[in-house]
Copies of this chain bind each other. A is one copy, B any other.
Amino acid sequence: MALKEFNDLADFSAAQVQAMLALAARLQQRPEPQALAGKVLALLFLSPSLRTLSSFQAAMMRLGGGSFVISPDMSIHGLETRSGIVMDGVAAEHLREAIPVISSYGDALGIRAFANRVRLEDDLADTEYRAMRELVRIPLINMESAIQHPCQSLADWKTMDELGVPKNGGKFVLSWAWHPKALPLAVPSSTLHMAAMRGMDVTVVRPDGFALPQPIMDKARKAAETSGGTVRETSDRKEALEGAHVIYAKEWSSTRHYGDRVADARLREDLQDWRVDDPWFATARPDCRFMHCLPVRRGVAVTDRVLDGPRSVVIHEAQNRMWGQMAVLYQMLGPGA
């Protein structure tokens, strides 16, 4: 049956994810350049993008279809997002029209909209994305919302499979990394869930004040129960890194001071040693991999020598964005869908 929505790996069983990855591998090995002939993917970017922008366009082209890209600056003076407003200001068009219109030209729609980072409960509930979803009547792909980034997780799962990183018994360390700004929770949340769902022993290591929200942890623990994995959180980096198969670095906001950028900035001021460097791998497994979703600030979140060294698989992850998304699009729009 055709896939209608790709929003959260948690909406699928591990077997369904494996089937998607098998399809991705098949399309990678045996191209089907006519599979989506005449099909159109509409791409709405309310936040900037490089990998997602490129990889979705490339994915459609490799399957014989096409895509078009819309962002607010293409409309006249931008797109209004607030509801119930009298639009006598700058914006000449509202998302309530823009989304149905764009959707009406596509066979599927992708939406990217980063977290507002004002109220944690809104971002955890993915309020903005869910409001947009109500306006869509065609298959929909979450290209990163306030709390989800399922395409990244699919790519990361595929990457670990290809590298032979064990599922049950594999030790996955998701580490907070330094960054000058308070970034969203979408990638850490999705990554945690993905690793738990893959059956791994997951440790989230982060400084005090940056604990992942309870609902995120609970959801991941539930996934781990099913998969045979485990989930725990600590601020003890030394202990966390021991025996790791994977160190996955990600920058994120203080959850203690969520939405308060001044307090967040003060808290992260002294955390610049949360920069992944060679010594982090001293007690990890010899073949421990370094993962990151990109973009990454060199010399800030991670040193050049790690990023340029043999442990780093960040380009491999990025490339798998395309193959994973091809599988998603094929399940949505391909033959038999």
A residues whose Cβ falls under 8 Å from a Cβ of B: 31-34, 37-40, 42, 48-51, 53-55, 57-58, 60-68, 70, 74-76, 80, 84-88, 92-94, 96-98, 100-102, 104-106, 180, 294-300, 304, 307-308, 314-315, 318-319, 322
- Residues of chain B within 8 A (CB-CB) of A84 are 299, 304
**A223 CB → nearest B CB, Å:** 29
- Residues of chain B within 8 A (CB-CB) of A101 are 50-51, 54, 294, 315, 318-319
Nearest B residue (CB) for A82: B298
Please tell me if the beta carbons of A318 and B104 are within 8 angstroms of each other in the complex: yes
26 residue pairs bridging A and B, Cβ less than 8 Å apart: A32-B38, A38-B63, A42-B54, A42-B58, A49-B74, A49-B75, A50-B74, A50-B102, A51-B101, A54-B68, A54-B70, A54-B101, A57-B68, A58-B66, A61-B65, A61-B68, A85-B299, A88-B297, A88-B300, A96-B298, A96-B307, A97-B318, A98-B295, A100-B315, A100-B318, A105-B319
Q: Bound complex: CA of A106 vs CA of B105, how far in Å?
A: 22
- Residues of chain B within 8 A (CB-CB) of A39 are 33, 61
Please tell me if the beta carbons of B74 and A53 are within 8 angstroms of each other in the complex: yes
Nearest B residue (CB) for A100: B315
Q: A53-B70, A58-B106, A322-B104 are in contact. Are A295 and B92 (CB under 8 A)?
A: yes
Nearest B residue (CB) for A83: B304
Q: A38-B31, A86-B300 are in contact. Are A74 and B97 (CB under 8 A)?
A: no
